Chains A and B, each alone.
Chain A
Amino acid sequence: MDDRIIDRTAAGLAADIREGRATSRSVTEAFLDRIDAVDGEVGAFLHVDRDGALATASEVDAALAAGEELGPLAGVPVAVKDIVVTGGMPTTAASKILEGWIPPYDATVVERLQAAGTPILGKTNLDEFAMGSSTEYSAYRRTANPWDTARIPGGSGGGSAAAVAAKMAPLAIGTDTGGSIRQPGAVTGTLGAKPTYGSNSRYGLIAFSSSLDTPGPVARNALDAALLHEVISGHDPRDSTSIDAPVPPVAEAARSGASGDLSGLRLGVVEQFAEGAGAAEPGVLDAYLAGVDQLVKLGAEIVEVSCPSFSYALPTYYLIAPSEASSNLARYDGVRYGLRSGDDGRRSLEEVMGLTREAGFGPEVKRRIILGTYALSAGYVDQFYGRAQKVRTLIKRDFEATFEQCDALISPTTPFTAFKYGERTGDPYQMYLADLFTIPTNLYGGPGISVPVGLSDGMPVGLQVMGPVMGDDITYRVASALESTQDPLLADTAPEIEGK
């Protein structure tokens, strides 16, 4: 089965294309065919751009034939989360309010993919506006977990994770606001990396929470993710929060980590993550601890660290993110683009705006808009939004103090494995707990990676590595080293989806 194109790594495919053993067109076609075959069952894509992807592939093939030097991922196709703006290709954020919108511009991430010669296979499903942890809040379709199609693929980037897990794409772009790359990675047995905030441009990323959103790579292994990371990273003058500094050498770190030597590295375990109602379920904890043992065998030293403010990360996040979202989502009013509802020629603009937003937004989005509006309103802003910003400072301080004692932190990525459909939609708070371990990193701004570490009752478990700001390379090194202990890679052992 290793002869199949879709089973190969992105790095391997790139080498094949570069060295003439395969064409980008044949590789891209293989993934498009795979999408045709299995996406009916998985439901990862909202839009597939066969013609566009093949056109890019042919251009790459022609350029290579002409002897041009192309980037390290040239010709390898990528799937893009449908919250990233793609010029000329529908972009919906999985919301009815953007149904049919064809953007007239490209996100920086997309421009960089194009410049790197990576064909874009299509747009992947997500929770509406990236608000959710199961992709159940997509307005369009349900996405299945390839490991068990009765279960959710995580969220919000369930589509990107499922596409990679089911080998419909070797690589995918996700976005991470509170865990939306890492948590789906963990529950689908794929690797997801949230880069340092500001190291990857947000220009063209449909905003959920501006001070938290970060685009990043999804792959089946650390090196592939690192190669994609380097393609999309780097300063962008169109994003005022973009860091003007060299991209951390993540591909190099992934290669060096593959040697399996972590000696001299100190990894911190956060005391507070083991406490209280949010602690990981036993099966997750077992798989995670087995992974920690492996890291120790590779030479890492484990130290226990205390981050008292982490206990308040969840409420802090659920004040800051909805507050910013309530403002970011105000633009969807049916005037300039997207849905307009209830315009019968008699109603006022105000009524039509209200009806448009009622019809266009799903329940979780409305819930967060109301929550955010409340948290910012006069009389509550100090108690809620203002206080959350202060606690955010304390969380950052905890991280900074911790990185005086160790090189990176590790934890389970998420407290539980993929749950069944509908299990948590009735209780938003239970859903929010899925991001308990991933949220602190977003509040801090540093990098986080989720690498598959084992199984619990046959479902994948992820180990999270959290690094200091601009220390993305350390997280890749640890992830890659952990992968070196797996043969075959856990990500490659997903049950085969037969499809049609």
Chain B
Amino acid sequence: MTKLSTYEAAMAAYEPVLGLETHIELDTGTKMFCGCPTAFGAEPNTQICPVCLALPGALPVANRAAVEATMKIGLALNCRIAEWTRFARKNYFYPDMPKNFQTSQYEEPLCEDGYVDVAVDGDHYRVEIERVHLEEDTGKTLHVGGATGRIHGATESLVDYNRAGIPLVEIVTKPVPGAGDLAPEVARAYVTELRDIVRSLGVSDVRMEQGSLRCDVNVSLNRAGDAWGTRTETKNVNSLRSVERAVRHEIRRQAALLDSGEKIHQETRHFHEATGETSPGRSKEEATDYRYFPEPDLAVMEPDREWVERLRSGLPELPRKRRERLRAEWGLGELEMQSVVNADAVEIIEATVAAGASPTAAVKWWLGELSRRANETGVELGELRIGPEQVAELQGMVDDGRLNDKLARQVIDGVLADEGGPAEVAASRGLEVVSDTGALEAAVDEAIAANPDAAEKIRGGKHAAAGALIGAVMKSTKGQADAGAVRELILSKLG
């Protein structure tokens, strides 16, 4: 059992330093070095050719669109685009890598020295980017015979090379100190921002759940004033929420080790979604020596400045600017907008507004009730089984007086349970505001009769006492009355 400090104790004693390596699969039509298609979910080994299967004699030719997409990412991350850059071979043996070397970049990445600004709780952090380089993805290995589909305990493995050779952009941050106890949130905010930037560029669908955005999280701890500590690298952290959890867990785990005088090993660790914990990878007897050398099968690249400037001027509105625009359009305060961003709800709220809801209502639902539901079930907002159209429809029913907030929440229950759209759920569950005036009047009369003291106070001008009567009416109508209408009815009868 892993010893863990409490997060508060860890933060009282240590300062974390973060580092993030993000891999993004580009959604070019073809692979990095051959003309094979890149569709997700194809039958195994149907999108492979002599080049990406590394048949003897086959040679790579670089995909111009992938190089261009990488430069766009670099430009959007405020990087310098290299005037001279090349591919290099990273040599190591692994069965999902057909050539047993990965064509990557080494000392001369395509883009260098950029930054991304993120905001958490009103504070701004600049995450500096060390490099953005282009490489190729590996195939996928299915482990057979083990209990969990994991490598451990498997008796054999089956390899599918469809993914092998898909262009992969690696974005590496410089070490990020100074985030303090917000380190987990800063890590998450960075990955979110990066994802939104890349999505706005239209060069990747950046879907973490499909593995087109994958994150390796580096964490180290040091006491204030000391040199940075030894870092661990947690591999393949594949959701925004997991990024935050992985950082938090590593901080607590490392703090406990340091507290008891133990050393942190520089190692690769794995993140487990189910438990939110990390576990060590198999430690190697010797450090891997990748024996990088320049790829002799590919020409060097010299992106001319005219090309770079054309790409720069063609960049779309980036998320930061877009958020400023939307904030103004929606009439939100800065902190409120930040909450929207941190909840990863910009897109979804924009879509909800587009579907007809007012910005205020859209923000209220997504940041309130729906965020709560997402948290409860441990999913992202986008993964909830209710979408922007349905939320707009729901709000329309509220605006029309057919639902009140309480009923609307019950309708959400139904939608989340796949019972249909809001209107269907309201109908099938019988969730409608009682608008039959006769029935409502009867309920009000009944409440007045049952609460003579309150009624007397209202007659005496104490309108605040109406609350008790409204409560009684709502109770007797099982919440299906419009509270405003009930109030008016009570006041008119007792006024």
Instruction: Please list the residues of chain A having a beta carbon within 8 angstroms of any beta carbon in chain B.
Output: 84-85, 91, 93, 98, 101, 103-105, 107, 202-207, 209-211, 237-241, 323-324, 326-327, 330-331, 333, 335-337, 349-350, 353, 373, 376-378, 381, 385
Assess the B95–A349 pair: CB atoms within 8 A: yes
Within 8 A of A (CB), among B157-172: 157, 159, 161
Assess the A239–B289 pair: CB atoms within 8 A: no
Assess the B91–A376 pair: CB atoms within 8 A: yes
Map CB proximity to A onto B108-151 as digits: 1 under 8 Å, 0 otherwise.
00000000000000000000000000000000000000000000
Assess the B56–A239 pair: CB atoms within 8 A: no
**B57 interface residue (CB < 8 Å to A):** yes
Q: Which residue of the partner chain, among B93, B292, B299, contacts A330 with CB atoms under 8 Å?
A: B93
* Residues of the A chain whose Cβ atoms lie less than 8 Å from the Cβ of B406: none
Assess the B293–A376 pair: CB atoms within 8 A: yes
- Complex alpha-carbon distance, A54 and B54, angstroms: 32
Assess the B56–A104 pair: CB atoms within 8 A: no
Assess the A330–B99 pair: CB atoms within 8 A: yes
- Complex alpha-carbon distance, A43 and B183, angstroms: 70
* Residues of the B chain whose Cβ atoms lie less than 8 Å from the Cβ of A337: 55-56
Q: Which residue of the partner chain, among B54, B98, B291, contacts A373 with CB atoms under 8 Å?
A: B291
Assess the A330–B100 pair: CB atoms within 8 A: yes
* Residues of the B chain whose Cβ atoms lie less than 8 Å from the Cβ of A211: 296
Assess the B56–A93 pair: CB atoms within 8 A: yes
Assess the B291–A206 pair: CB atoms within 8 A: no
Q: Which residue of the partner chain, among B61, B161, B289, contacts A240 with CB atoms under 8 Å?
A: B61
Q: Which A residue sits closest to B89, measured CB to CB?
A: A327
**B442 interface residue (CB < 8 Å to A):** no
Q: Which A residue sits closest to B100, measured CB to CB?
A: A330
Can you list 15 residue pairs at the A/B interface with Cβ under 8 Å? A104-B55, A105-B58, A107-B57, A202-B57, A203-B57, A207-B57, A210-B296, A237-B61, A238-B59, A240-B59, A327-B91, A327-B293, A330-B91, A333-B100, A336-B98
**A379 CB to nearest B CB, Å:** 9
Assess the A336–B53 pair: CB atoms within 8 A: yes
**B62 interface residue (CB < 8 Å to A):** yes
**A320 CB to nearest B CB, Å:** 9
**B83 interface residue (CB < 8 Å to A):** no
Q: Which B residue sits closest to A374, measured CB to CB?
A: B291
**B295 CB to nearest A CB, Å:** 8
What are the 7 closest A-B residue pairs judged by CB atoms, nearest first?
A330-B100, A376-B291, A210-B296, A211-B296, A85-B57, A204-B57, A206-B56
- Complex alpha-carbon distance, A84 and B56, angstroms: 9
* Residues of the B chain whose Cβ atoms lie less than 8 Å from the Cβ of A107: 57
Q: Which B residue sits closest to A209, measured CB to CB?
A: B296
Q: Which B residue sits closest to A105, measured CB to CB?
A: B50
Assess the A210–B297 pair: CB atoms within 8 A: yes
Assess the B293–A385 pair: CB atoms within 8 A: yes
* Residues of the A chain whose Cβ atoms lie less than 8 Å from the Cβ of B465: none
Q: Which A residue sits closest to B45, measured CB to CB?
A: A336
Assess the B50–A331 pair: CB atoms within 8 A: no
* Residues of the A chain whose Cβ atoms lie less than 8 Å from the Cβ of B55: 85, 103-105, 336-337
Chain B CB count within 10 A is highest, among A85, A209, A333, for A333
Assess the B57–A205 pair: CB atoms within 8 A: yes
Assess the B56–A103 pair: CB atoms within 8 A: yes
* Residues of the B chain whose Cβ atoms lie less than 8 Å from the Cβ of A350: 93
Q: Which A residue sits closest to B294, measured CB to CB?
A: A389
Q: Which B residue sits closest to A91, measured CB to CB?
A: B56
* Residues of the B chain whose Cβ atoms lie less than 8 Å from the Cβ of A93: 56
Given known A-B contacts A204-B57, A206-B57, A240-B60, A324 and B50 have beta carbons under 8 A apart: no
Map CB proximity to A onto B20-64 as digits: 1 under 8 Å, 0 otherwise.
000000000000000000000000000000100111111111100
- Complex alpha-carbon distance, A377 and B100, angstroms: 16
Chain A CB count within 10 A is highest, among B99, B100, B161, B296, for B296
Q: Which residue of the partner chain, among A98, A335, A377, A385, contacts B56 with CB atoms under 8 Å?
A: A98
- Complex alpha-carbon distance, A333 and B100, angstroms: 8
* Residues of the A chain whose Cβ atoms lie less than 8 Å from the Cβ of B95: 333, 335, 349
**B228 interface residue (CB < 8 Å to A):** no
Q: Apart from A240-B299, A349-B157, what 14 extra A-B contacts exist at CB < 8 Å?
A: A84-B57, A91-B56, A103-B56, A104-B55, A206-B56, A207-B297, A209-B296, A238-B61, A240-B297, A327-B293, A331-B54, A331-B98, A333-B100, A376-B292
Assess the A327–B291 pair: CB atoms within 8 A: yes
Within 8 A of A (CB), among B83-97: 89, 91, 93, 95
Q: Which A residue sits closest to B33, measured CB to CB?
A: A240
Assess the B296–A324 pair: CB atoms within 8 A: yes
**B101 interface residue (CB < 8 Å to A):** yes
Map CB proximity to A onto B205-230 as digits: 1 under 8 Å, 0 otherwise.
00000000000000000000000000
- Complex alpha-carbon distance, A330 and B101, angstroms: 7
Assess the B299–A335 pair: CB atoms within 8 A: no
- Complex alpha-carbon distance, A107 and B56, angstroms: 10
- Complex alpha-carbon distance, A330 and B91, angstroms: 8
**B269 CB to nearest A CB, Å:** 21
- Complex alpha-carbon distance, A383 and B93, angstroms: 25
Assess the A381–B57 pair: CB atoms within 8 A: no
**B298 interface residue (CB < 8 Å to A):** yes
Assess the A353–B91 pair: CB atoms within 8 A: no
* Residues of the A chain whose Cβ atoms lie less than 8 Å from the Cβ of B99: 330-331
Assess the B298–A240 pair: CB atoms within 8 A: yes
* Residues of the B chain whose Cβ atoms lie less than 8 Å from the Cβ of A206: 56-57
- Complex alpha-carbon distance, A204 and B49, angstroms: 13
Map CB proximity to A onto B260-302 as digits: 1 under 8 Å, 0 otherwise.
0000000000000000000000000000010111001111000
Q: Which B residue sits closest to A389, measured CB to CB?
A: B294
* Residues of the B chain whose Cβ atoms lie less than 8 Å from the Cβ of A336: 53-55, 98, 161
**A130 CB to nearest B CB, Å:** 12
- Complex alpha-carbon distance, A163 and B220, angstroms: 66
* Residues of the A chain whose Cβ atoms lie less than 8 Å from the Cβ of B161: 336
Q: Which A residue sits closest to B53, measured CB to CB?
A: A336
Assess the A381–B53 pair: CB atoms within 8 A: no
* Residues of the A chain whose Cβ atoms lie less than 8 Å from the Cβ of B57: 84-85, 103, 107, 202-207
Assess the A202–B91 pair: CB atoms within 8 A: no
Assess the A331–B293 pair: CB atoms within 8 A: no
**B74 CB to nearest A CB, Å:** 22
- Complex alpha-carbon distance, A203 and B100, angstroms: 19
Given known A-B contacts A324-B296, A327-B291, A331-B98, A353 and B93 have beta carbons under 8 A apart: yes
Chain A CB count within 10 A is highest, among B91, B157, B292, for B91
* Residues of the B chain whose Cβ atoms lie less than 8 Å from the Cβ of A385: 293
* Residues of the A chain whose Cβ atoms lie less than 8 Å from the Cβ of B54: 331, 336
* Residues of the A chain whose Cβ atoms lie less than 8 Å from the Cβ of B289: 377-378
Given known A-B contacts A327-B101, A373-B291, A377-B291, A241 and B299 have beta carbons under 8 A apart: yes
- Complex alpha-carbon distance, A353 and B94, angstroms: 10
Q: Which A residue sits closest to B96, measured CB to CB?
A: A335
* Residues of the B chain whose Cβ atoms lie less than 8 Å from the Cβ of A105: 50, 55, 58
**B92 CB to nearest A CB, Å:** 9
Assess the A331–B56 pair: CB atoms within 8 A: yes
Q: Which residue of the partner chain, among A98, A323, A353, contacts B293 with CB atoms under 8 Å?
A: A323
- Complex alpha-carbon distance, A486 and B50, angstroms: 46
- Complex alpha-carbon distance, A335 and B54, angstroms: 11
**A465 CB to nearest B CB, Å:** 26
Map CB proximity to A onto B233-265 as digits: 1 under 8 Å, 0 otherwise.
000000000000000000000000000000000
Q: Which B residue sits closest to A213, measured CB to CB?
A: B296
**B167 CB to nearest A CB, Å:** 16
Given known A-B contacts A104-B55, A105-B55, A203-B59, A381 and B293 have beta carbons under 8 A apart: yes
* Residues of the A chain whose Cβ atoms lie less than 8 Å from the Cβ of B93: 330, 333, 350, 353
**A321 CB to nearest B CB, Å:** 11
Assess the A240–B62 pair: CB atoms within 8 A: yes
Assess the B59–A202 pair: CB atoms within 8 A: yes
- Complex alpha-carbon distance, A239 and B298, angstroms: 8
Given known A-B contacts A210-B297, A333-B93, A381-B291, A204 and B58 have beta carbons under 8 A apart: yes
- Complex alpha-carbon distance, A326 and B290, angstroms: 12
* Residues of the A chain whose Cβ atoms lie less than 8 Å from the Cβ of B297: 207, 210, 240-241
* Residues of the B chain whose Cβ atoms lie less than 8 Å from the Cβ of A202: 57, 59
Given known A-B contacts A376-B293, A381-B291, A85 and B56 have beta carbons under 8 A apart: yes
